[in-house]
Each structure stands twice: as C-alpha cells, then as structure tokens.
Amino acid sequence: MLRRAALAAFAACWLAGVLSAQATQRPVYQVLRTAQAIQVDGKLDDAAWAQAPAVGAFVNNRDGSASPLPTEAKILYDDDFLYFAFRVVDDNIWATMKERDDHLWTEEVVEVFLQPDPQKSPYIELEVNPLGTMLDIYLLDIRKPIPYKSWNSHKLKWAVQVDGTVDGKPGDQQWTAEIALPMEDIVPAPNLPPKPGDRWRLNLYRVEQKPERAGLAWSPTMAGDFHKPSMFGEIVFTDRRVP
C-alpha cells in the first residue's frame, strides 16, 4: 500500500513538472518582411507565403497534447499590415454565422490574439469562420473588450476559400483564410511599423465543433480559456525579406 502511494505521488509530481515545463516553454516565431503587399483572397498563392515557414503544430489548448487535426499558419509583415495565413484540414466544415461580430467562437473558426506590448494590458482578437465572417475585438484588459459593435477595424482585410461545403457533413477537404491587420490599429505597439528585433505576444487558435469539439492552440494556455496573454507565444520581427 505504501509503495503504491509513493508511486502515485511520484507520478503526480512528474506530471506537474512536465506541465510546468510546457507552460514555460512558449513558442517563438521569426516574422519575415514581404517585399510586396499580400493579395488577400484566401488562396495563399502569393510567392511570399511559399517562402514563409509555418509557425509549428497546433496542439490541444487544455493540456498541450498532440492533435490529429492538421492546422497550419504563417505570418508576414510590411510597413502597413501584419498578415496571417491559415490552412485548416477538415472533413466536415461547419459554420452558420454571417454577420460581423457574431459570437463566432461558438462554431468553427480560426483566431488571432495579439498583445503588441507585454507591459501593457490591451490586446486585439480576430476571428474568421469558413463563411468568411469576421469578429474583430479590441480588449482593454483580459476579457474587458470595447463593445463589439462599437470597434471595427475599417482597413482590415480578410478572405476565405473552402474546398468543400460548409454544412458540417463529411466529404470536405480543407478551408483556408488570409487576414491583413492594419498596423495603424495596433496602437499599443512600441514601434509602428515594428522594428527588427521587436517582440510581440501572439497566440493562434482553431475551434472545431463537428464531429467532435476541439480547441487547438499554437501556444497552449493549459486551461479552458484562450484569454491568457501570459501564456501566449512570441513573434519576433526580422529584416529578412521575401518576394
């Protein structure tokens, strides 16, 4: 009995240590500068995207475990925009919301959370669903947004392409999305446009509903909450240019 209790205690300590290590090892991504503005059409066929590396695997947000759902994201920037590309492999794509600033996170969606200055609390949240609906939010602090309908990024660009049908039925292949966030909206940033070496907090998420619910993250928050900026990954701006 004592031996079993000791083994259980050891296992608990080991697991706590693993989770703690996962929590402190935040991913870092080097953002390349694009020499030409990205054509935001959702196709991801600009030459610059082909040269940009993927951010890395999306994992289960609650515990950091591997996910069987393939998800790819890339990031680029220029003086005017911060660009995001998503490729979401999905056998049964589903969404119903078509109005801007609807509660998209309750269906299937990809999300960007950006905190440009870790010393300041504001951050920006962007969500786009397979129907091409956008939710853009400016938050003054954790879960303290300016009312959704009162803040919209007027120069924000986004587009989606779907290889399949958005009805939640099997037989689909994937959907892709592009987002161009205007630099002028990222007001808490120390430098605009960012300078090489500037480091911003960032997280990327995917929410899946059919056939089973899943919440994936680039940098897992290790909780059932996406709004944990201290657990975000980091992007570092570089002066390396791609066509």
What does the alpha-carbon distance between residue 216 and residue 231 come to, in Å, rounded to a whole number?
A: 14
Classify residue 19: in a domain, yes or no: no
User: Which CATH number belongs to the domain containing residue 107 in this structure?
Assistant: 2.60.40.1190
pTM: 0.90
- Evaluate the omega torsion of the peptide bond into residue 116 and state whether it is cis, within 30 degrees of 0: no
Residue 11 lies in a domain: no
Q: Do 31 and 81 meet the contact criterion of CB atoms below 8 Å apart?
A: no
- In a domain, residue 15? The reply is no
Give the domain range for residue 164.
25-242
Residue 179 falls inside a structural domain: yes
> What are φ and ψ of residue 176, in 5° steps?
-125, 155
- Please state the domain count of the chain: 1
* Residue found under tokens 């049964």: 92
Look at residue 100 and tell me if it is in a domain: yes
In a domain, 130, yes or no: yes
Print pLDDT tens along the chain (243 aa): 445 544 444 444 444 444 444 445 899 999 999 999 999 999 999 999 999 999 999 999 999 999 999 999 999 999 999 999 999 999 999 999 999 999 999 999 999 999 999 999 999 999 999 999 999 999 999 999 998 778 999 999 999 999 999 999 999 999 999 999 999 999 999 999 999 999 999 999 999 999 999 999 999 999 999 999 999 999 999 999 998
Residue 24: per-residue pLDDT: 58
Q: For 197, phi and psi rounded to 5 degrees?
A: 100, -15
* Backbone dihedral region for residue 222 (phi beyond 0: left; psi -120 to 50: alpha; all else: beta): left
